[in-house]
Structure formats: structure tokens, C-alpha cells
Chain A
Amino acid sequence: MSIFEVKGLSVNFTTINGEVKAVNNVSFNIAKGETVAIVGESGSGKSQTVLAALGLLAENGHATGSVKFEGQELLGLEIKNLNKIRGNKISMVFQDPMTSLNPFLRISDQMVEVLTLHKGMNKKAATAEAIRMLDAVRLPDASQVITRFPHELSGGMRQRVMIAIALSCEPQILIADEPTTALDVTVQAQMLELFKGLTKDFGTSLILITHDLGVVAGIADRMMVMYAGKMVEKGNVDETFYSPKNPYTFGLLHSTPHIDDPEKRLEPIDGLPPSLENLPSGCAFHPRCAYSMERCLIEEPKLIVEKNGRSNACFYKGKLGDKESSE
């Protein structure tokens, strides 16, 4: 039973150079308790997809399609009603913990406001609960930390505070937008452990946005790969890692270093991600794709459901990896 359904979601931005399609007809479902990763390069539209769902797009952006949470349509929902859901049933952890907390307010103020708003707690109860949440995200000295200002905390501590805020109303869905990107590697690992444990303890569904495939392998059940605003491959993590179907996914996996084969040369994907203002014709990936055919220049491949619930948007049906070895 899926609690979060995205159908035909598109996000457009009005810019001086005209309309830019940041997200193009994306659909997916999230089941209860599931961890799903959205993977893609910068600018692939992965963040905009979830921001659109919560009505957090920048002023010049607008979303079309449908985003349903527990059957309720979120797009176009009145702000008053949307505010009952966000921060409460769906909450979000942002990429940059350095700028995502208000530098002018104490941690206590920023934590308590969520609890008083959504849980109707008084200030005292909310403070106690906030301290308990800080303990839950394994911040030492929680009762001390809560009286501090954000600039007095390290990046890792701030991200823990962000996570504590996001989890304080025990949301059904936690959206984490590159939660570990701004942190150093050891802290990254701690954060992932934290996510793993917390989603299990709270039964929360986790939507994890990342470009780090190591993170995906570590905690996600399913993964979705986005390229230039479109979903190009969906499937469970193990199968997708073992046998990617889309040449782009294949390229991503082969441009990641492997610890068990350090001698192996990395194979970067040639070229750069396309500009969204000026997308290539047909399949947006064709200029960088080793398998592109004439058809790819003209026609856009659709995301087609294959067996085991895996989907792929590509015309090439042969085995991946052969081309490189034959060259």
C-alpha cells in the first residue's frame, strides 16, 4: 500500500530565457516504511521533484501533475491545509545544515515551534520532547545544545538538529535532500546509520535524494535514476546495481570507484549534463551515450515497466558493457 503517489509531475521555471522544464512527467510510489533513493547528477531535477510536492518551489517555479499523500492531493492544496501536513506528516531535511537553520534563533526556539504547532504542546512539554529528540539523534549534551545558537554547533551537530526537528512529529515520510553532502566522510557514515535506525524505529518512509551511489547501496530498498528532469530507470537497489538496464545508470555505476577492485580504471561518462534550457532532441542522454542509435535522436524513450517491477527508458535492449570491451 503506497502512502505517497506521484503521477505525471512536471516542474517548470519561468526565467528570462523562457520556460525551463526542470522535472518532466515523473511518476513513482512510496510504500510505508520503505526507503527509496532518487539518484542523479546536479540539475537532474531530483530536488525539485520533492520540493514541488511540498509546495516549496522558488517563486518562479510551478508544478503540474499530481502528488498524493494518503490519497490527498497536495498540488494546489490550500496553504493552510498544506501546513498541517508539512513538518508534521511529511518532513524534510535539507542539503546544507549550515544555512538551513535560522542563525538568529536558538535551537530550542526552532525545535519547540514545530511541536507546539503540530502537537499542541505547551512550551515546557515541547522543550522536554525536543531534548528527547536530540538524544534520539545521538547528540551528546542535548540539554546544553538546545540553548545554543546554530553558529555554535558543528556541521554534523546541526544536521542532527535538522533531523531531530524533521522527526519530532513522527512523520510518515521523511524527505532527505542530500543530507550528507555537506558533511565529512565519518560524519556521513554516522548520519546514514542514524537514518537507518530511525526509519526502522519510527516506521518512517524515507525518500533520499543523493548523487552518492555508496549511500544508496547502504540504505535504500529501491532506487530511481533521473536524468535531465526525467526518470530513466527504477528498480530495487540490488538488482539495479547488479544489472543496470539503462546506459546512464550503467555509466553512473562504472564511474564510481570500487574498493574490491582498486586497480580498475574508472570510466567517466563523457561530456556534461545537458542544459535544461536547450535539451538535445529525442533521448536527452544520446549525445553522451555509447549505445545511441538513430532512433534516439528523433524519439524520446518512454519509461516501460519490465519484470520484477523494474522500469527503464531506453531503446537499446542489448547487454550493457559489451561496447566498451569490444572497442
Chain B
Amino acid sequence: MFIFILKRIGIAIPTLLVLIVFSFVIMKSAPGGPFTSERPLPAQVLLNLEIKYGLDKPYHEQLINYVVDIVTKFDFGPSFRYKDRSVNDIIAQGFPITLTYGIWSFVLAVSVGVSLGIVAAIKHNSWIDYTAVGFSISAQVLPNFVMAPILVIIFTLTLGWLPGGGWNGGQWQYLVMPVIALSTSYMASIARITRSSMLEVLNSNFIRTAKAKGLSNTQIIFKHALKPALLPVITYLGPAFVGMITGSVVIDMYFSTGGIGQMFVSSALNRDYSVIMGITILMGFLTIMFNLVVDILYAWIDPKIRY
């Protein structure tokens, strides 16, 4: 197990390198640069700027310098757009925000999604089941850019209960709507996956054995059915968790939370190379880490899986 984890971390490093090179190449091949604007800068100013940020050097040298700075100094470079701010600063400012409402969204999506899926499977073909299926389909087809304004119309404009946006240090009033808007579609997917996998497990031979033993429904579900039914859900949860804690552009923009998703988009529009790279690497790193966590959870749940 320990060796397995080490190996996986070992593979993660070249994977991240490939990610860096790939996003670097794509970024450089896009036209324009961080200092392109409607009113062209004088050639000398542009050259000075490029020298300052090292953009005058050949591409491969820029790339190597970038990677060396990360490895030796954990320095992701300065932002090209916001003077005096480094990428580290920008991520340190935006990521905690996204992380906060992301984790809440995750907790909400998992707890409601899993319970809904289980109940729907147990009461298969009952009104509860149909309601759950109906909810998850509608929640899934409702994109968050529709969901967010609807929430604002209800809770801010009509009822006046919640502020329409902002962050304010993450007070709960500011959290409610971003969390709901972000979690619903995940919740719906989790409910759907849980329901179908639970149904499959409940029809399996070993559940019939459990029934033939005279075990109560509660014992059957929690002792015999839950673990196998949750395996496919866990597969989904790894990437879903990363998706939630790295935020959603729509949520950040709509509720002006100041999260990392917003920065990602604006840096892409501004050609703020180092910020794009920094956030990409962060997301890549988290994805790799949580896939590893999923694999470890797998081994913990399924005795047939041993690394």
C-alpha cells in the first residue's frame, strides 16, 4: 500500500510536467500577449516590460526558468496584469474562498445525494422513488447559470433574506446561494449513481442470502448493501470534489465571491500567463491527489482490491 502511494506520487510529477508544457505551448500559440491592448504600447516600453518579465527569452528558456523557480523556490512567478502581486498571492487570496464554499457544496451534495439515492432504491417504484428521480433529472438539466439568478430572484429580490452577492469573510448568509447553486447538479448526479448502483446491489445474490438469513432491512442495507453500492459513487466523487473546490466560473462571477474560478477566466482573457499556469497546475495537482484518494478509499472498501 505504502509503495503504491509512493509510486502514484512518483507518476504524478511527470504528469504535472506534461501538464505544464502542454498548457505553456497552448498559451504561447494563442495570439496576443499580456501587454496587448487596444492602444498599442510604444515599442521600447513593450520591450522593457518583456525584459522585466523575461518574455524576451526563447520559449524553452522561459519554460525551464518557470519550472526551476517552482521546484526550487515554490515561486509561480509574478502576475503580468496586477503589478506587485505574485501568483502565489492571488491563489492564496482566491483559493480559500472557493475551498470554503466548495467543501460546503461537497458535504451538501454527498449527504443529500447519497441519502436520496438510497431511499429511492429501497422504495423502488414508489412515489418517493419517482420524486427523487424527477428531482435529479430536473436538477441536472438546470444549469447553474439559470439556477443562480432564480435563487437571487427568490431569496434576495422577493424575500429579501440573503445578500445577492459578495463574500464578507464567508459569513453564512453569503454562502447559502453559492453552495446551493454549485451543489445541485452534483447532488443530482450522486443521487442517480447511488440509486442505480444500490438497485443493482439489492438484486444481487448475496442480498438474497442476507434476506434468507432473516436479517432486518436496516441490517441488510447498512451492513451488506451500502459498501458495494457506494463504490461507483466514490469513483465519481474524486473528480467531483476537485470540480467543486476549484469553483465554478459562473458561481464566482454571478455572486462576486472573489474565488479562484473568476480569476482563472479573467487571467485567460488578459493573457496573464503565470496566473493561468498557476491555477492550471493547482487544479491538475488536486485532480491527481484526489484520484489517489479515491484509489485508497477503494482498497479500504473493497477487500478484493489490494495494491
Chain A interface residues toward B at CB < 8 A: 54-56, 58-59, 79-80, 82-88, 91-92, 94, 96, 99-106, 109, 113-114, 117-118, 149, 151, 162, 165
Contacts and interface: CB of A to CB of B under 8 A. Distances in A.
Interface residues of B, number: 25
Contact of B303 (A54, A149, A162): A149
Interface string B52-93: 000000000000000000000000000000000000000000
B304 A86 contact: no
B206 interface: yes
B205 A94 contact: yes
Chain A at the B interface: SS class? mixed
B212 A58 contact: no
A2 to B, nearest CB: 22
Contacts of A114: 213-214
Interface in B67-125: 124-125
B228 A59 contact: no
A46 to B, nearest CB: 16
Interface in B191-225: 203-206, 208-217, 219, 223-224
A86 B303 contact: no
A86 B216 CA distance: 11
A103 B214 contact: no
A151 B304 contact: yes
B51 interface: no
A101 B209 contact: yes
Contact of B208 (A56, A80, A104, A113): A56
Contact of A103 (B203, B206, B208): B206
Contacts of B211: 55-56, 86
A58 B209 contact: no
Contacts of B203: 58-59
Nearest to B226: A104
B213 A86 contact: yes
12 contacts: A59-B124, A83-B216, A84-B214, A86-B213, A87-B213, A91-B213, A92-B209, A96-B205, A103-B304, A104-B301, A105-B223, A114-B214
B227 interface: yes
A322 B219 CA distance: 58
Nearest to A55: B211
Q: Which 5 A-B pairs have the closest CB atoms?
A: A87-B214, A87-B213, A99-B205, A83-B214, A149-B303
Nearest to A80: B216
B124 A94 contact: no
A293 B128 CA distance: 54
